[in-house]
Structure 1
């Protein structure tokens, strides 16, 4: 697993972020897909709220630690994200009810349990009787799933972010 420290540049939506890895001689810009979760699309119910929740957890210019082993189909790092207080952002988005556990690509029993807890408490998107999963929305609107295909792609040592 590769691990590095980055500075948040922009929250794109409820499960993706633009960051800057501070490396010498030049900083490296990259995009992260928060691994194991799938947030509502921005045009879906709860999409803007999900983005706002992630922006609150990862404010611009905050320094976070990211760990990854693969990239998604769009070249984004599939990342585990931890803030300076050791809060696991992937879990926190599920705990707040602001994302689904993306079981198709992640079989974590811990993330599944956190999602179930948020559902039982009717938090965030679970306050809606039948929230539409983003993968169903994308299928119905003929837009592709975003995470890596089964197995993902391992980073090569020459790729951005793989030096640490």
Structure 2
């Protein structure tokens, strides 16, 4: 025997479900797939989606040297070698104040964010990262003097400090 139909409770359930979905950040579950058509620096790319839309993506949890900073051009070249003209999948975790999607980018099965840290092309952005695996990769790159870790200590200025020093001028 079927229970009696209760349209009011069914509607209430649907309304609550819709409210919960509306409250969830759409960026949290979003994925971007496409081809990397631009590399701005060592942590920012432009992805051309299958819908022919260009999306600027800031790689989450890492911070690469700025282009005018020591190792900035090398970091950009490193990311280019890893991702330029390649198909990628970005798991979007948010949006920054400049309107860029923030996310973890995968080239095939390679986590590009982690790979940039492993190769010494970027620091772990401690202010925004809670991934202990990235910290281990950074420690290994530093110990092996890979990438930016081969620079003289005076030139190894984290990008967030470099940007802050530039603002004060």
Structure 2: tracts of 5 or more residues without a match:
1-28
Match 1:35 to one of 60, 74, 97: 60
Structure 1: tracts of 5 or more residues without a match:
144-164
Report which stretch shifted further, 1-10 or 108-117: 1-10
Partner Cα separation in structure 1 for residue 30 and residue 139 of structure 2: 29
Partner Cα separation in structure 1 for residue 34 and residue 60 of structure 2: 16
Partner of 1:138: 163
**Larger relative contact order (CA 8 Å, sep ≥ 6):** 1
Partner Cα separation in structure 1 for residue 89 and residue 32 of structure 2: 6
Taking the TM superposition and a 5 Å limit, the aligned residue runs for 1:145-160 are: none
Higher helix share: 2
Partner of 2:76: 51
Partner Cα separation in structure 2 for residue 4 and residue 56 of structure 1: 20
Taking the TM superposition and a 5 Å limit, the aligned residue runs for 1:33-112 are: 33-60=58-85, 62-84=86-108, 86-112=109-135
> How many positions carry a matched residue from both structures?
138
Q: Is the 8 A contact 2:46 2:55 kept in 1?
A: yes
Q: Which is greater in Rg?
A: 2
Counterpart secondary structure, 1:52 = helix
Provide the TM-score with structure 2 as the length reference.
0.79
Question: Superposition RMSD on alpha carbons, in Å?
Answer: 1.1
Partner Cα separation in structure 2 for residue 31 and residue 12 of structure 1: 9
Partner Cα separation in structure 2 for residue 89 and residue 69 of structure 1: 15
Partner Cα separation in structure 2 for residue 111 and residue 2 of structure 1: 22
